[in-house]
Structure 1
């Protein structure tokens, strides 16, 4: 009850746009809704695979590139942590709770499971921004996947559009400076390549 009383109602910001999207989901073919729901629930696994690929390819490159590739998962975790703090500070109720008549593809999260910003979107865009700096092609795939992830969170009814936009901005804002700063760890990677850590750090020089 206390959590519900303290919750911020984000429907006043873009509740109309949210219901437009969820109404479209209601009218969409079942196969499309099912595919989007699956992506929204399990699509983060793709980012894990892309980070793994970035590490594998980074082993063949110079120490700076390898350091950046190794930093990507840590940067994503940090972005998620920052977002979790922000969620608890803002305490915005889920749209499916503030607009109970809205159509949703997923069961509405309970009270206290705050909406702003979107965790899935923060993770996706932090990974995409970092990967884009590490490996352009992998990053391009990640950017498209992040856009799809953010849109899916509104489509299935668990986030407002502004939750997704804020999550994207936060993810990028955290990831870019930290990924650039990770290059400073290049000397550590270079030394580590001459130790038992060589299988992890690689031997690339270019």
Structure 2
């Protein structure tokens, strides 16, 4: 298949919500004081969700086996959500907005041609972690969800994604995390109970 055919079949993100994307990046153009903090968060904020999952595991040590099963499943949910999302990217091959709308304001450097926009990997990972943690502890899940929403907003603010990229990514992360974490609570709880009586007891209780 030629590159021209791929370009023809690719999702045209600019025609979906390119205007809204432009409004957001124009806002970024006029809020230079905010550019640095948002760029730092969008670049390194994913690490925060690893911290949230560690907190979830620590909390689950004092709870019943089903809660620990959910806490242990959270990283797997995140990895699977990322893989599913990356598969969707390869199907739709939506060019980044920095290529479709090159004159709009951009904070983050434009990625390579084969690094597609739809959906957002950063947002999927953040949403999956947040939703998985809701099944561990609602307060922790709420905090992580707020951080995930900020991650989604930051991806548009820096010019890396269209709004629909992060919206669909949130759905992907949510669906995968719910499926994985709920399944873990339902089917892996007996295994966690057995492991709590063995050599892994210090890690699980």
TM-score, reference length from structure 1: 0.94
TM-score, reference length from structure 2: 0.95
Partner of 2:28: 25
Query: Offset at 1:3?
Result: 4.7
Query: Offset at 1:177?
Result: 2.1
Q: Which of 13, 27, 48 is equivalent to 1:10?
A: 13
Q: What RMSD over aligned residues (CA atoms) do the two structures have, in Å? A: 1.1
- Whether 2:180 is the aligned partner of 1:178: answer yes
Secondary structure at the counterpart of residue 112 of structure 1: coil
- Whether 2:200 is the aligned partner of 1:197: answer yes
Q: How many Å separate the matches in 1 of 2:3 and 2:156?
A: 23
Q: Which stretches in structure 2 are left out of the alignment for 5+ residues?
A: none
Partner of 2:36: 34
User: Once superposed, which parts of structure 1, at least 4 consecutive aligned residues long, lie more than 3 Å away?
Assistant: 2-5
Alignment size in residue pairs: 200
Partner of 2:123: 121
Query: Offset at 1:96?
Result: 0.5
Q: Structure 1 pair 4/43, CA: closer, same or farther in 2 (3 Å)?
A: farther
Task: Verify the 8 A CA contact 1:63 1:186 in the aligned structure 2.
Answer: yes
Q: Which of 140, 143, 163 is equivalent to 1:141?
A: 143
Mapping of residues 15-164 of structure 1, within 5 Å = 15-28=18-31, 30-164=32-166
Q: Structure 1 pair 4/10, CA: closer, same or farther in 2 (3 Å)?
A: farther
Q: How many Å separate the matches in 2 of 1:15 and 1:193?
A: 52
1:159-182 per-position Cα deviation (integer Å, ceiling 9, x unaligned): 000000000011101111221111
